[in-house]
Structure 1
Amino acid sequence: MPQIMVDFDSGALSALRQGPNEFAQEVKSAAVVQWYAEGRISQSKAAEILGLSRTDLLGELYRRRVPAVQADIEELREELACLTS
């Protein structure tokens, strides 16, 4: 698995009250959730990257206050139209 090294001031770890491993997981989760929120990856890909079930991913989205449904009103109307036709 590829590894990426990122330098952070030690103040970042203490601000979140996390050790290096927990901080690394936090950064990874934050990035993946952001990519999902931007529509760059799907829920299933986000869950795969984080090693979570889809149910656990939904919990992570809720914790980070990111909507689980990434569809706008027009996309929802199209979905409903397909279901009712």
Structure 2
Amino acid sequence: MMQLVIDYPDALPDALRVSRNEFEQEARMAMAVKLFELGRLTSGQAAQLAGVPRVAFILDLHRYGVSPIQITPDELAEDFANA
């Protein structure tokens, strides 16, 4: 597995009142959620990036204001037309 290293100020976790591990997990989750929202990753790929089970990832999406169903209005209309 590859590794991404991101520098951040030492005081940042303290400023957010979280531990270093909590901050790093939240950053991984935020990156995974955004890539999922943009359609760059599937929910399974995003969950793997976040280091959580797929179901946990999907259930946590509401915390970020992201729907687990990523479909455009045009795609939905096309699905209805094909049904």
Q: TM-score, normalised by structure 1?
A: 0.81
> What residue is the counterpart of 1:31 in the other structure?
31
Gapped regions of structure 2 (runs ≥ 5): none
Give, in angstroms, the shift of residue 71 of structure 1.
1.1
> What residue is the counterpart of 1:68 in the other structure?
68
CA distance in 1, matches of 2:12, 2:31: 16
CA distance in 2, matches of 1:76, 1:59: 22
1:1-85 aligned within 5 A: 1-83=1-83
CA distance in 2, matches of 1:44, 1:5: 22
Amino acid at match of 1:48: Q
RMSD: 1.6
- Residue aligned with 2:11, SS: helix
Identity %: 33
Q: TM-score, normalised by structure 2?
A: 0.82
Gapped regions of structure 1 (runs ≥ 5): none
Q: For this pair of structures, how many residues does the alignment match?
A: 83
